[in-house]
Structure 1
Amino acid sequence: MKNIAKIKILSLFLIAAIILPANVFGAIVPNDEFYKQEQVSYFNQINLPQAWETTKGSKDVIIAIIDAGVDTDHPDILSNMWFNRGEKALNGIDDDSNGFVDDLNGWDFIENDSDPHPKFNNEYSFGGANHGTTVAGVAASVTNNNIGLAGVCWNCKIMALRALDAKGEGTTTDIAKAIDYAIQNGADIINMSFVGGATDAVLSDAIDRAYEAGIVLVSAVGNDAEDSFIIGGDLDFRPLYPACSDGPAGMNHIIGVGSVDEESIKSTFSNYGFNCIDINAPGDGVAAPQLFDPKLGEEFESKYRGGWRGTSLAAPFVTGVAGLMKSVNPKLTNDQVLSIIRETAIDITKFNMQFFGQIGAGLLDAGAAVSKAAETAGLGTAKKVLSFSSKKSILVSSGINRQVSAMITDNLGDDTYEWLAYPTFFRGGAELVSGDVDGDGAAEIISGAGGGGGPQVRIFSSRGDVEGQFFAYDATFRGGVHIATADFDKDGIDEIVTSAGAGLSSVVRIVDKNGKIKWSFSVTAEGLNGGVTVNAADIDSDGEIEVITGTGGGSLPLVQIFDKLGNKEASWLAYPEFFRGGVNVSVGDVDADGALEVVTAAGDGGGPQVRIFSSTGTVEGQFFAFEDTFRGGARLAVGNVDADSSAEIIVGSGIGRESEVRVFSKFGVGYVQDSMFEVFEDDYQGGVHVGI
């Protein structure tokens, strides 16, 4: 039987975190809660804020973290997780034919499944269990989000590849599989914060393949310098891999990273040598996210921890800076990235004379490296990035009792692209709308969480990458959020309209992309306790945007129209007075007469009756979108999805029937079904939200 070389994760040490007064020298200061307290000194040490003046990173740059698993649901990591855009969410099918089923964020090569979280089957070490999460967090924590810690590359995406167990042990076979996955699925950089005392053809060949694919390879050099049993960490005497892996002709394929303390002195544990080390970065008292899972015990009740030590923590600083470099210049080759990092290094020889020539080029200078990257003519080719547009597309999201899938599709249900809008444990559904909320000329996709979770609004790019998020109401509110978009102040940037669901006084807020309130008012109606649904448009062609609301369950089935200050302009009954199931509302020109109509659908408990009204409440049409005996209501949106002269009415099925989307248009005096398609699983009956 062939021997398989062993790989062992680098130990993470903990020291007591010493909090020093924070002097912020960088021009850019992120608002993360613990940045000034825990991170600013060593971020300034490597001139990272200066790098952020050039770029904060691109969501198109993918960092593969090969490690012991990443807490993909961590609040400071979730939004920066890579999402496999070729895979439909958890349908049990290998949609992109890459050999991995439902690999949404990466893969677990230990358990051979699609969940790359750390796992505790038997034994574990605290450092091993947290290792991948801390490494990922240093490289690319979600930054400037008012919580936690900052990452080096604010917007880079994390591909989580679990190839080491919770004790921090693994084999070159699994490492090689993870490397090949990263190659196959578009990683730009691979971080490897582990070492082994031997290598084999399996690992070296995989590294060669990654190098030839143009991937930047970063490795920690090890923490053995305090251990006299292995000659004090001298890598020339005892090389460690993959840090000391060279190409077939001795080419440098790996950026080997050592650790320094806050004085730029080589950390006592950091290995050294003339050949394997390229650069050094802070690794002596680093704060980072950790695995957050209180059910595992007290040691996992905190989201963050300071005082981590190890070259494992130094490596992701270099990885993150490589991400910034590839963000500002996607055509840089891996050789160019390595050369620029070495050429721009800060000389720390005077602090480390006893290790002259044995600690690489010096200390990482993020500002200089990114600046030079921006000025350098790249010798490679920028990778193609899959792009989707929400123009003339239908937005679809799942209702209750299911993971919240978000989907972009066309009017036939083809050309579908799907991602998870919220963590897998949330089963309350979500609404989706689109709008240009950042003024970049492209529409973003905005989600509002359904009942049962916090009132979180999230902003996605048209590729499903999270670009922002905020709580629309108090974080303890659990009634759900309804959403719409429109440009109320005529500045070319859409505002987000939110309305509270059941259990809160019916507060409507008009906010910017960060959740800052611009206007706010309350909606009143007889018996109103189920919140209100919401839409927004210039319904009366007066040049001002109005807010259109439909009452929630338990109250009169009213449509009400307000200006942005909350002054009521119109009101009428959408359905018979006795109906108490709620009213869903949308707006559009469905008859091509140049005027907008208000379109309603009955809420839960009602028949799937769609009604069309003029801006003053005159009924202009009606039809049943599904069987007239069905009593789960319907959800709807209005928009032009087929590029003709009028808008279509898109209807999603309510709770209690198979999940379908149907598209209707005006034909003569009535409405006809243009298309119908199924979404989600065959047996799913939790309702379908639609948007435009």
Structure 2
Amino acid sequence: MKQIFSFFLLFCSFVQPAFALSPNDPFLDSLWYLDHIGVPEAWETTTGSSEVIVAVLDSGVDFDHPDLADNSWVNKKEIPEDGIDNDGNGYIDDVYGWDFVHEDNMPIPDVGLGFEEDAVSHGTFIAGTIGAVGNNTEGIVGINWSVKIMSLRVLDNYGVGDSEAVRKAIEYATTNGADVINLSFAGYDYSERFQEAVEKAYEAGVVTVAAVGNDSDGGLNINHYPSYPACFTNGAGSDDWVIGVAATQEDDTKAIFSNYGSYCTDISAPGTDFYSTFFQDDEWLEFSEEYYHGYWSGTSMAVPVVSGAVALLIAEYPTLTPSQIKIILQLSVDPVVQIGIVGRREMGAGRINVARAFSIAGQFGLSREELESVKPSTNIVVVPEAGSPPMVRVFSKNGLLLTEFLAYDEAFSGGVRVAMGDIDADGEDEIVTVPGKGGSPLVRLFEQDGTLIREFYAFREDLQTGFFVAVGDVNGDYREDIVVCADAGGRGRVKVFTQEGTGIEDLWPFGSTEISVRVTTADVDGDGLEEIVCSQGGGTSPLVRVLELDGTLVSEFYAYATTYDQGVFVAAGDIDGDGSDEIVTGTDEGGGPQVQIFNGTGSWIGTFFAYDDQFRGGVRVTVGNLSEEKNASASIITAAGPGGGPHLQIYNNHAELIGTFFTDQETDRQGINVSTWSL
């Protein structure tokens, strides 16, 4: 077993601070560092969000603590004590996280087999600094008044752990929605598997914050004695997957015990004289009296200051990436006096200044308020069905061709499927494509001018069944996710990815089947979280299913008569302006051009024929807000299937035709697919 954790304690006096925004927590004056780094000024903007999750990988967190209970993460997908892995994540009854030391579902400190008092309370102490409930007339206040602390126990009662437990905990945190991972420990043994887990977390948009470590002899230069995980990097300097944190004291000089080194130290933070939450258990004399304790020092204390600041930034600017957050923190620092250290930036960019970080964060991302008010562009994207080159054409709502580009090699003629969404939250839609039959499962993301942003394979590269794609925020992180499913022959699998191409979830909405599956996303209940809506191709009934991300069935209904078996296309948008999306269906080739409209529970709302009722090429549908007003009712846009011309029609919420144009030569009869963005 490798020891990867150590901390160094001092017991000192403190100076009482004055706060700009003062919560009513009675021990507020013991938290000198809050005022010193500008946290109260940041509280004028936000005091945190329960939608932000910070995973504390440590000796366990006392999640029943009166100052932590309301901010403790609960896995709502798991049913307590039923002995079943309800959410399918590989951990049974993991309601409050997981203990990777004992491999059980109680990630709290365990004092039954011997202990060191400080080690037992270490995780609880860290959690309080990040997110003790604020303004509750109880104890202390965390940097975040509101947040969710995910307890993952990786250190035993003596503060000792091994890299394999930490690796598994990082993977758990990443898979289960953590935004920030706090690692208040360090060691000097390198682990490739540990590093791979950290890298994957970074690629999934998770910010990992770690201590550079302590040494009783004035601190080590980790340029010469690398400390992990702070020193995990790809070696090329372009990707530094961890924010490495050194410790300072009240006069902004290096704390005597803190390690340092420009290669791995990204930023410094206060790390002395900390007062925080303490593990409490009446059955043990050592833990029977105090819910709070101090005064501790160490780089272990500096890490939750940075993790807490990161969580606070994400609460206000939820689309910030790990690299953007690191840049913001480093651009906003105060200088550190490097007494006794030779070299530049040995303590990182400087000492964290949270108030200044908030003053510049708006240059890197949109605030929650701005995200709610932004109105993406309302262009319409058209791509061909099989038989034509894979040309993507972008039109204005009035039919003006704005740009065109090839999604794949010009020789490919299997057709293209397309979705649109504001992938990077910049107020402009991006275009996501997958190939039709005969193409490998290559997902491509483009700007509307055709600039390729990135690409990734959704399935194994030799699978050439053809694919369908949708875009929507299905996991509630304010970032558009990408949903991909296979055409006939793909076994009915639906896969969900982040915008970076990292897998989030796999679903089988109709079980294992060789029939094609089609997909869209829809907020059917108006809660701001989009569900996944699936239908099937020809050869089965016209069943539509609405699912949550974890596969839970929300509703199901038949879009057409149960005897109809030609296949169904699905789209969704808020057609009636009530805040919830309606589901719109169209027929596949062989069916008439009948468009149906349903609410989220499957209740029928209306129907109309988009083209001549004798046409049997089917009709593709999409829904988009083509008005200049953000909350206006969405329009239904239809495109003719094979045998019909490239004829696009726009209908309002009363099924009245309000616009029409051809997207190519009227004699072209291969059929087209269409997408736009629906708010």
Determine which of 340, 345, 364 is the counterpart of 1:357.
Answer: 345
Q: SS of the counterpart of 2:308?
A: helix
Q: SS of the counterpart of 2:161?
A: strand
Cα distance per residue 1:536-593 (max 9 Å; x no partner): xxxxxxxxxxxxxxxxxxxxxxxxxxxxxxxxxxxxxxxxxxxxxxxxxxxxxxxxxx
On the 8 A contact 2:10/2:272 being kept in 1, the answer is no
Cα deviation, residue 345, structure 1: 0.7
Whole-angstrom CA distance in 1 between matches of 2:64 and 2:362: 33
Whole-angstrom CA distance in 1 between matches of 2:203 and 2:338: 37
Whole-angstrom CA distance in 1 between matches of 2:114 and 2:133: 31
Aligned to 1:343: 331
Name the CA shift for 1:33/1:277 in 2 (closer, same or farther; >3 Å). Answer: same
Matched, 1:76 2:76: no
Determine which of 239, 242, 258 is the counterpart of 2:229.
Answer: 242
Whole-angstrom CA distance in 2 between matches of 1:384 and 1:7: 39
Determine which of 112, 129, 134 is the counterpart of 1:143.
Answer: 134
Q: Which amino acid aligns with 1:66?
A: L
Cα distance per residue 1:22-51 (max 9 Å; x no partner): 341x32111101102x01x32111001011
Provide the TM-score with structure 1 as the length reference. Answer: 0.52
Whole-angstrom CA distance in 2 between matches of 1:642 and 1:304: 53
Q: Which amino acid aligns with 1:223?
A: N
Cα distance per residue 1:263-287 (max 9 Å; x no partner): 1111100111121111111111011
Matched, 1:15 2:11: yes
Aligned to 2:44: 53
Name the CA shift for 1:332/1:133 in 2 (closer, same or farther; >3 Å). Answer: same
Whole-angstrom CA distance in 2 between matches of 1:15 and 1:59: 33
Matched, 1:227 2:223: no
Aligned to 2:314: 326
Cα distance per residue 1:82-110 (max 9 Å; x no partner): 11121122222211111111111210011
On the 8 A contact 1:325/1:374 being kept in 2, the answer is no
Which is further off, 130-139 or 84-93? 84-93
Determine which of 305, 312, 330 is the counterpart of 1:317.
Answer: 305
Q: Which amino acid aligns with 1:312?
A: S
**% of aligned pairs identical?**
38
Whole-angstrom CA distance in 1 between matches of 2:343 and 2:212: 15
Cα deviation, residue 299, structure 1: 4.6
Whole-angstrom CA distance in 2 between matches of 1:164 and 1:44: 31
Cα deviation, residue 368, structure 1: 1.2
On the 8 A contact 2:6/2:159 being kept in 1, the answer is yes
Matched, 1:28 2:18: no
Q: What RMSD in Å do the two structures reach over aligned CA positions? A: 2.5
Name the CA shift for 1:133/1:383 in 2 (closer, same or farther; >3 Å). Answer: farther
Whole-angstrom CA distance in 2 between matches of 1:211 and 1:642: 39
Whole-angstrom CA distance in 1 between matches of 2:113 and 2:142: 32
Whole-angstrom CA distance in 1 between matches of 2:274 and 2:156: 23
Name the CA shift for 1:197/1:60 in 2 (closer, same or farther; >3 Å). Answer: same
Q: SS of the counterpart of 2:349?
A: coil
Q: SS of the counterpart of 2:66?
A: coil
Whole-angstrom CA distance in 2 between matches of 1:11 and 1:123: 19
Whole-angstrom CA distance in 1 between matches of 2:476 and 2:348: 38
Cα deviation, residue 248, structure 1: 5.5
Whole-angstrom CA distance in 2 between matches of 1:9 and 1:304: 22
On the 8 A contact 2:254/2:337 being kept in 1, the answer is no
Aligned to 1:367: 355
On the 8 A contact 2:111/2:157 being kept in 1, the answer is yes
On the 8 A contact 2:61/2:109 being kept in 1, the answer is yes
Name the CA shift for 1:353/1:245 in 2 (closer, same or farther; >3 Å). Answer: closer
Aligned to 2:181: 190
Aligned to 1:438: none
Aligned to 1:168: 159
Aligned to 1:273: 261
On the 8 A contact 1:86/1:96 being kept in 2, the answer is yes
On the 8 A contact 2:171/2:201 being kept in 1, the answer is yes
Cα distance per residue 1:474-531 (max 9 Å; x no partner): xxxxxxxxxxxxxxxxxxxxxxxxxxxxxxxxxxxxxxxxxxxxxxxxxxxxxxxxxx
On the 8 A contact 1:11/1:127 being kept in 2, the answer is no
Matches for 1:658-669 after TM superposition, within 5 Å: none
Cα distance per residue 1:144-176 (max 9 Å; x no partner): 110100101111100000011111111111000
Q: SS of the counterpart of 2:4?
A: strand
On the 8 A contact 1:288/1:305 being kept in 2, the answer is yes
Whole-angstrom CA distance in 1 between matches of 2:98 and 2:82: 16
Name the CA shift for 1:380/1:244 in 2 (closer, same or farther; >3 Å). Answer: farther
Q: SS of the counterpart of 1:287?
A: strand
Note the residue ranges of structure 1 that are not aligned, 5 or more in a row: 388-440, 443-640, 644-692
On the 8 A contact 2:338/2:347 being kept in 1, the answer is no
Cα deviation, residue 8, structure 1: 2.6
Whole-angstrom CA distance in 2 between matches of 1:181 and 1:287: 29
Whole-angstrom CA distance in 2 between matches of 1:358 and 1:14: 23
Whole-angstrom CA distance in 2 between matches of 1:327 and 1:239: 33
On the 8 A contact 2:115/2:158 being kept in 1, the answer is yes
Q: Which amino acid aligns with 2:365?
A: A
Name the CA shift for 1:156/1:344 in 2 (closer, same or farther; >3 Å). Answer: same
Whole-angstrom CA distance in 2 between matches of 1:69 and 1:311: 18
Determine which of 66, 85, 90 is the counterpart of 1:99.
Answer: 90
On the 8 A contact 1:324/1:370 being kept in 2, the answer is no
Whole-angstrom CA distance in 1 between matches of 2:124 and 2:308: 14
Whole-angstrom CA distance in 1 between matches of 2:229 and 2:245: 11
Cα deviation, residue 14, structure 1: 3.8
Whole-angstrom CA distance in 2 between matches of 1:121 and 1:245: 35
Cα distance per residue 1:370-410 (max 9 Å; x no partner): 232234236856964559xxxxxxxxxxxxxxxxxxxxxxx
Q: SS of the counterpart of 2:118?
A: helix
On the 8 A contact 2:117/2:286 being kept in 1, the answer is no
Cα distance per residue 1:82-140 (max 9 Å; x no partner): 11121122222211111111111210011111110011242321221111111111011
Name the CA shift for 1:34/1:264 in 2 (closer, same or farther; >3 Å). Answer: same
On the 8 A contact 1:333/1:380 being kept in 2, the answer is no
Name the CA shift for 1:8/1:297 in 2 (closer, same or farther; >3 Å). Answer: farther
Note the residue ranges of structure 2 that are not aligned, 5 or more in a row: 367-422, 426-471, 478-525, 528-600, 604-679
Q: Which amino acid aligns with 1:9?
A: F
Whole-angstrom CA distance in 2 between matches of 1:128 and 1:342: 31
Name the CA shift for 1:176/1:356 in 2 (closer, same or farther; >3 Å). Answer: same
On the 8 A contact 2:336/2:347 being kept in 1, the answer is no
On the 8 A contact 1:67/1:192 being kept in 2, the answer is yes
Cα distance per residue 1:66-95 (max 9 Å; x no partner): 111111111111110011121122222211
Q: Which amino acid aligns with 1:170?
A: G
Provide the TM-score with structure 2 as the length reference. Answer: 0.53
Matches for 1:465-544 after TM superposition, within 5 Å: none
Aligned to 2:640: none
Aligned to 1:124: 115
Q: SS of the counterpart of 2:234?
A: coil
Matches for 1:529-568 after TM superposition, within 5 Å: none
Whole-angstrom CA distance in 2 between matches of 1:223 and 1:294: 32
